[in-house]
Structure 1
Amino acid sequence: MEEVDKILIRSLRLSGTDIPDEVQSVREFTTELIVEAVVRCLQVINPSVGAGLSHILPPGMSARFRIGISLAQACQDLGYQGEVGYQTFLYSSEPEIRRLLLFLVEKLPRDASEDAAQPVGKSTALHRAIATTIKEQLAVPWVPPTCRTPRLQLLQGSCLLKQFQARPLVLPRESDPSIGKMPPERKEFFVQFLPPVSAQLSRPACFAPSLLEQNMADLCTDQDWENEWKNQGLGSRMTPEEYRQWKHQRLQHRLLDQLRQAAPQAGPAPQGGTARDLTQFLGTFGAGQERMGALDKGSRFTHTQHLAFKQEAEPTAQIHTLPVSRTSEEELQERQAAEVEILESELGRLVGQIEEIEGQLATLGLTLTQVEGEVRQRQLGVTELEQTLRVKGRTVELLPDAENNMAKLQVVVESSAQRIIQLAAQWEKHRVPLIQEFRELKALHDSKELESSQRLLEIRELHERIRSAADEAKRKDDLYKQLLLELESLPKDVSRSAYTQRILEIVSNICKQKEEITKILSDTKELQKEINGLTGKLDRTFAVTDELIFKDAKRDEAVRKAYKYLAALHESCSQLIQTIEDTGTILREIRDLEEQIESETSKKTLNNLEKILNDYRALKQENTALLGRARET
Structure 2
Amino acid sequence: MPWSLHGGSHLPGCPGIMEEVDKILIRSLRLSGTEIPDEVQSIREFTTELIVESVVRCLRVINPSVGAGLSHILPPGMSARFRIGMSLAQACQDLGYQGEVGYQTFLYSSEPEIRRLLLFLVEKLPRDASEDASQPVGKSTTLHRAIAVAIKEQLAVPWVPPACRTPRLQLLQGSCLLKRFQAQPLVLPWESNLVPGKVPPERKEFFVKFLPPVSAQLPQTTSLVPSLLERNMAELSAAQDWESEWKSQGLGSRMTPEEYRQWKLQRLQRRLLDQLRQASPSLGPAQPGTTGRDLIQLLGSFGAGHERAGALAKGSRFTHTQNLAYKQEAEHPVQVETIPISRTSEQELREKQAAELETLEGELGRLVGQIGDLEGQMATLGLTLTQVEGEVRQRQLGVTEQEQTLRVKGRTVELLPDAENNMAKLQVVVESSAQRIIQLAAQWEKHRVPLTQEFRELKALHNSKELESSRRLLEIRELHERIRSAADEAKHKEDLYKQLLVELESLPKDVSRSAYTQRILEIVGNIRKQKEEITKILSDTRGLQKEINGLTGKLDRTFAVTDELVFKDAKRDEAVRKAYKYLAALHENCSQLIQTIEDTGTILREIRDLEEQIESETSKKTLSNLERILSDYRAMKQENTALLGRTRET
What TM-score do the two structures reach when normalised by structure 1? 0.46
Structure having the higher Rg: 2
What TM-score do the two structures reach when normalised by structure 2? 0.45
